[in-house]
Structure 1
Amino acid sequence: MRIIVTGGSGFLGSRVIRALLAAEGREGLPAFENILSVDLGACPVDDPRVASAVGDIADPGFARRVIDGDTVGVYHLAAVLSGQSEQDFDLGMRVNLDGTRALLEAARATGRAPRFVFASSVAVFGGDLPAVVPETMAPMPASSYGAAKAMGELLVNDYSRRGFVDGRACRLPTIVVRPGKPNSAASSFASGIVREPLAGIPSNLPVPPETRLWLSSPAAVVANLVHAMAVEGARIGPWRTLNLPGLCVTAGEMLESLERVGGAAARALVSQEPDRRIMDIVCSWPGDFEVSRLLAMGFTRDADFDGVVRQYRDEFVR
């Protein structure tokens, strides 16, 4: 029996794979013997229980080869990120929408309704939003990335309704702090204004300091993704879209945490020059969610943003 992880060679996917290996045998998780990473490159996790399949998830033939009758669970984490999806509409839709449909069809073809965890995003929201977004708020995306994710959520819900998969569409908060180089996400600055200054490198805040962001550490997101696979569908209910818990933090408060943890010199490395392209996308996203039901179901969140910064500093800053 096998769990599939698309995007398994990436930062989040490889962490989910490691967490699944550590959680093997956990109550609620489907019993599995190995994990198959599906991506454009090989998975960096060195474990005999992990194999890699390199290919294009939007190719229905490839999707059916990797998701077969031995598949008990699928994590669909692969995506073209928000900034690149705006720049290249065709690529974004091909991967983010067509790829999701191809994977769902492959899962359907197995005839065993595997659990299917789809990584969605708070980018499905836009327009006029309340201060705290309730679970029942309808998506109104203001980006092509958000539109594709919203359509993916509807597919996961309908395939679950039909009994083709046992789905969970998890709207991820913005994940900070990501190590490495900036990526093509419009929210990449949220990691950059912490990561770069802690390394002594200048960075820029492209949105107003009062911009509210819904944030989570990598550790909390990974724990919640593992829990999403383990929780029974009956506890989730017929609507399978979940706003994963996070922290509501303004960009200015992030810089205050940076100064408390990294010192005034680190904070001084962050400039504040607006970028309209980034503002148009990020400032359309909600900054706070009602998540009491999910917390009662066993999902978790970080205690405070200072802890998120310390988590990154302690793991990656030498």
Structure 2
Amino acid sequence: MRIVITGGFGFIGIQVAAELLARGSFRGTAISEVVLADRFVRRDLPIAADPRVRVVEGDLLASLDALFAEPVDVVIHLASAVSAESEADFDLGIRANLDSTRTLLDSARRQSESGGPVPVVFFSSSVAVYGSDDSLPLRSPVSESTLATPQSSYGTQKLLCEQLIADYTRKDFVDGRVARLMTVAIRPGKPNAAASGFLSGIIREPLAGSPATCPVDPDLRVALASPRTTVKGILAVAEADRGHRQGQLVGRLPVNLPALTVTVSEMLDTLRRVAGDAVADLVTFAPDPAVEAIVASWPAVFDNTRAATLGLSPDPDFESVVRQYLGDHRDAVSPAVLAHPGSETMGG
């Protein structure tokens, strides 16, 4: 079982790879190799030293021949240009999101049509495929049957990729699976260029003792998922059998991963409760209309029924998300926070 993860050194890519290696199998078949493909690699990470791991460094479009030089059983396609950079640089988004996905699908098709295995191709789509149009306001809650009318270039590119994957699957070129990811929070490390990046930053930076700026109205509602919930959802969709019974993937429709709905104000109230006033007061507000226009166009309330059929559920509350971060990234949290009585119960 040979598995390729594009964007393999991104935060979610590393988490997915680590979980696969820990399990040791995919759909009951032992994993022989996990290929981590990325433009920027980290050979110093422990995961890169695993004998089952191979690292491929470089632009995805230039790397596909190398990735498919040996039969590929599964592709977990996470690589993409994120929302704000795709909006700012249209050509970058088209190349990194649409062109790379189509070329990857063609590589997979050539493999299957030449007698090789028909690969499972998992695609990480986004809640950004939805948007409220003046002529067709977005109704709540949102489900997979809700018409997708994206209001950003990123969302449009993701939706186009979804349709390509559905058609390649219909033609039996690949076994395509699509999951629409919620905003993943709390992400560790440095901020990225995603419009939603502040949703991690307004918690992560104060927990480290640094100031943070919130660019949106505190009453804005958002749909979130913790890293663990996101990884569990990705692998559930990738591994699911097709059929009509509980726990099976029905049809070619995408799966909206389960969403926790919370306001920005509720997030900051949780930070105050867990870490104290001095930490929460490190967050200031500075409206950024461009960021708010993108994030506010995304729905916040979802019907999680389809995800539930695969055994998936949203995080119970935002406090559990914060405590997960405290437990997993203790070295990135200031001593003052760790000493605060509200942070005593750490997520394991």
Q: Same fold (TM over 0.5)?
A: yes
2:110 is the counterpart of 1:109:
yes
Distance apart, 1:264 and its partner CA: 1.4
Give the counterpart letter for 2:265 in structure 1: G
Identity over the aligned pairs, expressed in percent?
43
In 2, Cα distance between equivalents of 1:118 and 1:82: 16
Residue 67 and residue 30 in structure 1: after superposition, are their counterparts in 2 closer, same or farther (change >3 A)?
farther
In the alignment, what sits opposite 1:57? 60
User: Which piece of structure 1 moves more, 62-71 or 159-168?
Assistant: 62-71
Contact 1:125 1:284 in 2 (8 A): yes
User: Which piece of structure 1 moves more, 171-180 or 261-270?
Assistant: 261-270
Give the counterpart letter for 1:75 in structure 2: I
Larger radius of gyration: 2
- 1:205 corresponds, among 196, 204, 214, to 214
2:240 is the counterpart of 1:231:
yes
In 1, Cα distance between equivalents of 2:108 and 2:292: 37
In the alignment, what sits opposite 1:242? 255
Residue 5 and residue 116 in structure 1: after superposition, are their counterparts in 2 closer, same or farther (change >3 A)?
same
Q: Where does 1:36-185 land on structure 2 (aligned, <5 Å)?
A: 36-43=35-42, 44=45, 45=47, 46-59=49-62, 62-111=63-112, 112-127=117-132, 128-185=137-194
Distance apart, 1:70 and its partner CA: 2.1
Contact 1:173 1:246 in 2 (8 A): yes
Report the secondary structure of 2:56's partner residue.
Answer: strand
User: Which piece of structure 1 moves more, 259-268 or 77-86?
Assistant: 259-268
Instruction: Specify every segment of 5 or more residues in structure 2 that has no aligned partner in the other structure, as ranges.
Output: 332-348
Structure-2-length-normalised TM-score: 0.87
What do residues 74-106 of structure 1 show as CA deviations (whole Å, max 9, x unaligned)?
000001111111111111110100000011111
Report the secondary structure of 1:236's partner residue.
Answer: coil
2:280 is the counterpart of 1:267:
yes
User: Which piece of structure 1 moves more, 171-180 or 264-273?
Assistant: 264-273
Distance apart, 1:263 and its partner CA: 1.3
Give the counterpart letter for 1:265 in structure 2: A
Give the counterpart letter for 2:224 in structure 1: L
Distance apart, 1:30 and its partner CA: 5.1
In 1, Cα distance between equivalents of 2:147 and 2:157: 15
How many residues align? The count is 315
In 1, Cα distance between equivalents of 2:216 and 2:105: 36
Distance apart, 1:300 and its partner CA: 3.2
User: Which piece of structure 1 moves more, 128-137 or 5-14?
Assistant: 128-137
Contact 1:69 1:110 in 2 (8 A): no
Report the secondary structure of 1:138's partner residue.
Answer: coil
In the alignment, what sits opposite 1:22? 22
The two structures, once aligned, show a CA RMSD in angstroms of: 1.4
Contact 2:36 2:53 in 1 (8 A): yes
Report the secondary structure of 2:166's partner residue.
Answer: helix
Report the secondary structure of 2:25's partner residue.
Answer: coil
Contact 1:199 1:317 in 2 (8 A): no
Distance apart, 1:55 and its partner CA: 2.1
Structure-1-length-normalised TM-score: 0.95
Distance apart, 1:56 and its partner CA: 1.9
What do residues 150-204 of structure 1 show as CA deviations (whole Å, max 9, x unaligned)?
0011011111111111111110000000111111000000000100111111111
Contact 2:237 2:249 in 1 (8 A): no
In 1, Cα distance between equivalents of 2:92 and 2:156: 14
Runs of 4+ in 1 over 3 A off after TM superposition: none
Residue 34 and residue 256 in structure 1: after superposition, are their counterparts in 2 closer, same or farther (change >3 A)?
same
In 2, Cα distance between equivalents of 1:270 and 1:119: 31
